[in-house]
Every structure is written in C-alpha cells, then in structure tokens.
Structure 1
Amino acid sequence: MNTPAHDLPPVTVIGLGAMGTALAAAFIAAGHPTTVWNRSAAKAAPLVTKGARHAATIEEAVAAGPLVITCLTTYDATREVLQPAATAAALAGRTLVTLNTGTPEGARQLAGWAKAQGARFLGGAIKNVPPAVGKPDTLLYYGGDKAVFDTYEATLRVLGGDTVHLGDEPDLAALYEQAVGGLLLPALLGFFQGAALVTARGRKAATLVRYTTKWLEMIASELPAMADEIDNGDYTRPRATVGIFHQGIANELELEREADIDFSWHLPMHALLEQAIADGHRDHSITALVETLRSPKRRPAGEVNG
C-alpha cells in the first residue's frame, strides 16, 4: 500500500550539482516534501518548479526536516557548509546522511563531528551516475547505526532499489567506495588504450564495445572464485599464475614500440608483478598479488626491478 504523501518524511538536500539535483528530483517525484539549498541559488530554480522549497540559508535548510542529505565534494566541504547550522544548533536531533567521496578516516571524523552537534549519522555512497538515480537496480550503500538506517530505509530506497546497509561502522561506505572505485580508472584506461590501438589502424572505437563487454563479463564471472582464494589465503590452485602475467610484460613492451602508444601506466603493475615474483609467488594464483599489496616495498612509482 502506498504511503500518503502527507505521511512521507520531509527531506532536505544540500548540494545541487548533477547528482544532488538528481537526488532532490527523485524525492520530489516520490512525493516527499523536499527542501533544497546550494551556494549558487540559481541551481535550485528548476527544482522549485517541480515542487521543491528553496531555503535561503543553510540553517533554514537543516531546520526544515528530520533528514538532511548532503551531496558535496568531500567530508571537509560538508562540514564547512554545515558549520553555520551547527553553530545555530540546527543539527541537533537531525539525521545527517552524506553522499560524497572521501576516505574512511574522513567519514569517521565527520561522524564524530555530527555526534557532537547532536545529530545521527549515516555515511553513504552512490555507485552509479545521476540519470540512474531512482531506478530499481541502482546501488547505494550506507554505514552507520542500523536503527537509523531502518528508520529511513524506505525514504533512502527512493534513490535506488539496491539499497544496502553494510554495518554499524560509520566509515564502511567510504571503505567500500574506495575498494570498489579503485577498479574504475584502470578499467577505463584499458579501454582507452584499446581505442588508441584500433583507431590508429583507422577503425572505430565503437567496434571494441561488444568485445570489451564480453571480456568484462568474463572477469566478473571469475571474481567469486578469486575472492574465495583471497579469503582462504590459498593460492596453490591457480587458474592463471603470477608468472603467466609476468611473462606478458615483454609482449606489452613490444606492442608499445610497434603501435607507438604510451603504455607507461603499466609500469607500476609491472613493478608489482616483479615484487610478487621476488616474494615467491611465481607459481601461485594471480590473486596472490593481494599479499604483495599488503606488504608494499615503497619503491618509487613506475620503477621496475632489473
């Protein structure tokens, strides 16, 4: 049974970049009384036409409802923006949900600051792009007091159907954001490198998409087995060894010369493979690189042994 609009909790969204605007629009569409605030007031105008209320000050925005969602660049930026509201004691009794990037330490610090202001805290992360906000398969995860999450789970689920509570520690979303997000740039660089190779031959980058997608699906299918090896610490039954990947370095260097394309972003990976060999992992599964990553030798970036 649908909740009547007048029973839906009011929501405040602070920060109206592309993502913050999408968040506010989703709440408006779902019928939540929505207050918005942004340093540049002009960004609020399109949302006001959809039914949002524009708060003139940050104190007014925070006081407008029990749930305050911030979508700013960093934890430091969030605290800076909210400081006037904290000084006015407007945060007391509110629930603060942050949806920004940053380190686990930053999340812990902001959670402590929010507690000192009398506010409850959930640290969150959105694992998708603004147009995906509100869709059934859009993933958002949160760390913090489970009771707080339970109170607002239905409201938060407006932003994405795949809404997950990771645990009571307030920094878990930041931890997983960094752990999962580390895959993005290397994966994109791999695609961009491939695009540079095929476009240099007069072919379209679009011709890569089908094959790259299949390759990524294969990698995804291997992740459960790889995670099991890492969790068990058993690298002795490899599908592919560290040594096999190490042997591929020569092919990469030859291709770099042949295609006249910059492969230097591979050098830290080459160094990691060299160190894993030195650590005795040549015949172990490639997942044994986790052990080398856990014990960095602090060599300069890009340096390769030998």
Structure 2
Amino acid sequence: MAGDNRTPVTVIGLGSMGRALAAAFLAAGHPTTVWNRTPARARPLVQKGAVHAVSVADAVAASGLVVTCLTTFADTRTALRPAAGALRGRALVTLNSGSPADARETAAWAGTHGARLLAGAVKNVPAAVGAPDTLLCYSGDRGVFEEYGETLRVLGGDTVHLGEEPDLAALYEMAVGAMLLPALVGFFQGAAAVQARGLRVESMVRFAGKWLDMIKALLPVYAAEIDRGDYSDGASSVDLFLAGAAHDGDLAEEANVDTAWLAPLNDLVRRAAEAGHGPHSIAALTEMLRKGA
C-alpha cells in the first residue's frame, strides 16, 4: 500500500510491543520512523520500510505524531528529554504502564515543552496489535484523538477516548489490570493440583475458560450492586465464599500445593462477614477495600 497520503508517525521504544505498533503502522501504509536505545532492534522494521532515526531528537522531528512505547512514564520522560526542544506543536501519544499520578506529571512535562499529550494503554498482548477487537484506551487532549483517531485505530479496532483528564487511561488500566495476577495465579494453582494427579494441564483449559465466561457475565451484576451500594442479593454471598475457603487446606495437603497466596483474600472475606456482610453479595468486599472501612 502506498504511504504518500498516510499520516507519518514516529515510534519510540522497540520492545516487543513497540515493534508490534511500528509494524502495524507500516502494514497500513504509514511512513514510519523508529528509534530505540539499542539500534539492532530497528533492523527488522527497516527491512519492512521503516526509517531508523539516528537520535531520539531526529525521530521526534520526523513526524507530527510521536508514539512512545517504553516501560513507564518516567522512562518516557527520560528518553524524550534530549528531544524536548523538538516536541513543540507535536502530538505525543504514550503507551506505557504507570500510575495516574505519573500520567499527570507527564502531561504537565509535555505541556511545558509545547506537546499535546494523549496518554494511552494497550489492553492486549503484542500479537493482538492491529486486530479489530483489540482494545486501546486513551485520555487527554481530545483534539489529538480527533485528528489522529483514524491512524491510531490501525493499532486496534476497539479504540476509546475516556476523557480530557490525562490520567484516566492509567486509572482504568490499573483498575482492570488488578484482576490479572489473581486470575493467573488461580489458574497456576489449579495447574499444579492437576499435575499432582498425573494429568495434563491442557485438560483443564476448557473448564477454566467456561469459568471465566461465567465471571465475565457476572461483572455487570456486581458493578450495578456496587454503584447502588445495595448488596442485599446474596445469591453468591460472602458466607458462601467463606465456607469454600475451608477447602483450601485440604487441597494444599492432598496435592502438595502452596495455597498461602489465598490467605489475604480469605482474610478479606472473613472481615466482611464479621462486619455484617455475611448474607450479602460477595460484591460487598468492595466496601472492605475502601480505606477506613
């Protein structure tokens, strides 16, 4: 596809995700400039048609749209500092992890150098970049989103602007991301227990998927309960979860599996029951997670 009528874009940071972003822009025909501290990472992209900038300042100067994909907001500021003078008037899109406070600090830093910031998050793995259902959330300068939205949708078809506040994407990334490690460790615990019986872990994948589908179906129900502050529907009650916690020790002993990671979660359930939430929906744990509850 000819790229002469496509928006030029610069990608800074060529880890696995950054390389996927740059490859998606190239595949869509966008003239793409890349830069990374380790130049060798740019070679496969150059072979696909990317231009490798010698310096980060040259990379920023090459395009009106600059997309960074580094580990943290602090890493982004550090990498861009030598190019600060070239940022004025450019659209800066950050795709990295970090706290809402870090996002606000980066927005202020970008503003002092005349850049318009759109802070974003890719809610998927590098292999999913460019897919129609891949979700990317952005927040910050709406003008940047409106001007470059078509270009950014090259990275994923489910592209959302959350609002003008520059920290909203970081807030939602952390709020949703909190689900990941507990879910994965739960799967890994199950894998260890299944293997202890001489069975293959792949045998439980179908059932784990169904379980996750059930959890997904419950999320709107729990969200509505939390928004209303009404936990009176005890179909999945705190007491029910408390009773289930008693089986953790049995599994640990039988399968020789370490279930100690569950102790803080079970303690949270116990505290909710002691606070009078025993017959209430398990969503009442939200009240226990608020500081001062």
Report the TM-score range of the alignment, normalised by the length of the smaller protein: over 0.9
Gaps of 5+ in 1: 298-306
Q: What does the per-residue CA deviation read over 1:187-246, in whole Å, with 9 as the maximum and x for residues that have no partner?
A: 111111111011110000000000000111111111111111011110011221111111
Q: 1:54 aligns with which of 52, 55, 66?
A: 52
**What is the CA deviation profile of residues 113-148 of structure 1, one whole-angstrom value per residue up to 9, with x for unaligned ones?**
000100000110001111111111111010112222
Which residue is equivalent to 1:29?
A: 27
Cα distance in 1, alignment partners of residues 205 and 283 from structure 2: 27
Task: Give, in angstroms, the shift of residue 7 of structure 1.
Answer: 2.3
Equivalent residue for 2:148, pick from 147, 152, 171: 152
1:166 shift after superposition: 0.8
Correspondence for 1:121: 117
- Residues 197, 255 of structure 2: 8 Å contact kept: no
Describe the superposition over 1:7-56 as per-residue Cα deviations: whole angstroms up to 9, x where unpaired.
22110000001100010011011111100000000111110110000000
Q: Secondary structure of 2:277's match? A: coil
- For residues 161-200 of structure 1, the aligned pairs below 5 Å read 161-200=157-196
Q: Which secondary structure state, in structure 2, belongs to the residue aligned with residue 222 of structure 1? A: helix
Cα deviation for residue 250 of structure 1 reads 1.2
Measured after TM superposition, the shift of residue 278 of structure 1 is 2.2
Partners of 1:99 and 1:181 in 2: how far apart?
A: 15
Contact map agreement 2:196 2:256 (CA 8 A) in 1: no
Runs of 4+ in 1 over 4 A off after TM superposition: none
Check 1:207–1:74 CA distance in 2 against 1; reply closer, same or farther (3 A cut): same
* Alpha-carbon distance in 1 for matches of 2:107, 2:57: 19
Aligned residue in 1 for 2:10: 12
In structure 2, the partner of 1:284 is 280
Q: CA deviation at 1:255?
A: 1.8
Question: What is the aligned residue count?
Answer: 293
Task: Read off the aligned partner of 1:196 and give its amino acid letter.
Answer: A
Question: Any gaps of 5 or more consecutive residues in structure 2?
Answer: none
Counterpart-to-counterpart distance in 2, 1:226 and 1:219: 10
1:216 maps onto 2:212 in alignment? yes
**What does the per-residue CA deviation read over 1:263-305, in whole Å, with 9 as the maximum and x for residues that have no partner?**
00001101111211222111111000000001367xxxxxxxx
The equivalent of 2:94 in structure 1 is 98
Counterpart-to-counterpart distance in 1, 2:42 and 2:291: 48
- Counterpart residue number, 2:129: 133
Deviation at 1:110? 0.3
Give the share of equivalent positions with the same residue, in percent. Answer: 59
Q: Tell whether the 8 Å contact from 2:123 to 2:136 is kept in structure 1 after alignment.
A: yes
Q: In the alignment, is the contact (CA less than 8 A) between 2:226 and 2:284 conserved in 1? A: yes
- Contact between 2:137 and 2:169, CA under 8 Å: does it hold in 1? yes
- Native 8 Å contact 2:6 2:29 kept in 1: yes
1:234 equivalent to 2:230? Answer yes
Partner of 1:44: 42
Q: Which residue of 1 aligns with 2:257?
A: 261
State the TM-score, normalized to the length of structure 2. Answer: 0.98
Distance between the aligned counterparts of 1:254 and 1:201, measured in 2? 15
Contact 2:89 2:116 in 1 (8 A): yes
User: 237-246 vs 103-112, which deviates more?
Assistant: 237-246
2:65 aligned residue: 67
Q: Does 1:84 align with 2:82?
A: yes
**TM-score w.r.t. length of structure 1:** 0.94
Matched residues in 1 for 2:186 and 2:131: separation?
Answer: 28
Give the whole-Å Cα distance in 2 for the aligned partners of 1:29 and 1:110: 30
Post-superposition shift, 1:6? 1.9
Q: Distance in 2 between the 1:296 and 1:140 partners?
A: 34
